[in-house]
Amino acid sequence: MSYALIIGEVRKGVFEERNLDSIGICALLQKETRLLIPDNTYAMDERLIDTIVKAKIAEDMFLNPINLANMVEHLIELHGNPDCIILTNSSSGTEFASYLSGMLGLPIITDVSDLDKERRVFLKSYYSDKLFGEFALVEQRPFILTVRGGSFKEHCVEKVNSPKIEYIDNFAVNDSRVFLEYVEEEKSEVDITKADFILSIGRGVGNKDEVSGYGELAEFLKAVLSGSRPVIDKMWLPKARQVGTSGKTVKPKVYLAMGISGAFQHIAGMKDSDCIIAVNKDANAPIFQYAHYGIIADMHKVRDQLKEILKG
Ligand SMILES: Cc1cc2nc3c(=O)[nH]c(=O)nc-3n(C[C@H](O)[C@H](O)[C@H](O)COP(=O)(O)OP(=O)(O)OC[C@H]3O[C@@H](n4cnc5c(N)ncnc54)[C@H](O)[C@@H]3O)c2cc1C
């Protein structure tokens, strides 16, 4: 029986929401799904899966790509080759995927964000969504995909039957690489995920000296100040204020983005905001595709004018 093998992403026992994109693309591909997770995983919607394979291995050992490859090889011995192996496009997902591709000699397409079902063509983006590439598989053999967060989860469908549960433990375990610990992010005085109004600044702010002016504007607006990753990487704002895939996901009533281009890693963290307003001097900036209102202008001039108006 042909099937898609999904490698589940689990953190501290919790089934990560981003797995829904892996499940969603399997539904689009109309594949029977077999999900591999460590035993004792919780917070999973089992109704979306055909077969759940629970590996008798601790999560820290599951996070070793050599062990993962051993488990996949063991599953192939038991059930034959999958049609495809699907992972999330997270840092661990891409690491596992590239390792599996090398170990099993399988073709790989990373960061898949869309699928043309008719043509069986996978899409991925380049240069912050400014360019898209199409990939088709020329040979009838298993392939590996990593899927972009937020791209396919709406395609998940509930199965009619409860999932079959299988356990595996008869695979080689390698402890040459030891997972030490998860390092929690610093606690911050501000929780941007709870804010109703967010003013977010990007690299367009130019330099650190300009940032305080946006702090003042945020105060006038009764907004919380956040930033895109370059602003955080340059340490102009603390990490807890970063919006995006490697920062926080926010859903305020108003998201005012100034000097932010609209890379998908940023968009993924704010696209569900009720109202998005973008200020950018480049009329072709991708963020305008997501904005409800757009202002093509120098952000500093907009900042200063807004402050003048709000001062009364
Ligand atoms: C694994 C990974 C994870 C990532 N995670 C995140 C994440 O969580 N969050 C995130 O934001 N990014 C993330 N990134 C980075 C992301 O790819 C982009 O590089 C980043 O979002 C770009 O930030 P930006 O829009 O501020 O800068 P840029 O892309 O450089 O855009 C700056 C924009 O400012 C405009 N501008 C310049 N001057 C002015 C002015 N005076 N007035 C008005 N507009 C002006 C420009 O036209 C441009 O559009 C991640 C990348 C990777 C590889």
13 and 154 part of one domain: yes
- Determine the distance separating the centroid of ligand 1 and the alpha carbon of 265, expressed in angstroms: 9
pLDDT at 128: 66
Q: In this structure, is residue 92 part of a structural domain?
A: yes
20 and 110 part of one domain: yes
Q: In this structure, is residue 175 part of a structural domain?
A: no
Q: In this structure, is residue 141 part of a structural domain?
A: yes
pLDDT of residue 165 exceeding 90: yes
pLDDT tier at 254, thresholds 50, 70, 90: very high
- Determine the distance separating the centroid of ligand 1 and the alpha carbon of 279, expressed in angstroms: 13
- Most ligand 1 atoms within 8 A of CB, residue of 266, 271, 287, 306 to mutate: 266
208 and 65 part of one domain: no
CATH classification at residue 19:
3.40.50.620
Q: In this structure, is residue 176 part of a structural domain?
A: no
Given 119, 134, 168, the domain boundary residue is: 168
pLDDT at 303: 98
- Determine the distance separating the centroid of ligand 1 and the alpha carbon of 305, expressed in angstroms: 24
- Determine the distance separating the centroid of ligand 1 and the alpha carbon of 287, expressed in angstroms: 10
Amino acid residing at 151:
S
Closest CA to 202 of 142, 143, 279, 295: 279
Q: In this structure, is residue 52 part of a structural domain?
A: yes
What is the residue range of 144's domain? 4-168
pLDDT in tens, 18-32: 999 999 999 999 999
DSSP letters for 166-227? EEE--S----SS------PPPP-S--GGG-SEEEEE-GGG-SHHHHHHHHHHHHHHT-EEEE
43 and 88 part of one domain: yes
Alpha carbon 53 to its chain centroid, in Å, reads: 24
Count of domains forming the chain: 2
Q: In this structure, is residue 185 part of a structural domain?
A: no
pLDDT of residue 224 exceeding 70: yes
Sign of the alpha-carbon dihedral angle for 51, 57, 58, 61: negative
Q: In this structure, is residue 180 part of a structural domain?
A: no
pLDDT at 171: 92
- pTM higher than 0.95: no
83 and 162 part of one domain: yes
CATH classification at residue 211:
3.40.50.1220
Mean pLDDT of 219-243: 96
Supply the residue whose CA is at minimum distance from atom 18 of ligand 1. 263
Give the Cα separation of 218 and 55 in Å (integer): 49
pLDDT in tens, 5-14: 999 999 999 9
pLDDT in tens, 261-310: 999 899 989 999 999 999 999 999 999 999 999 999 999 999 999 999 99
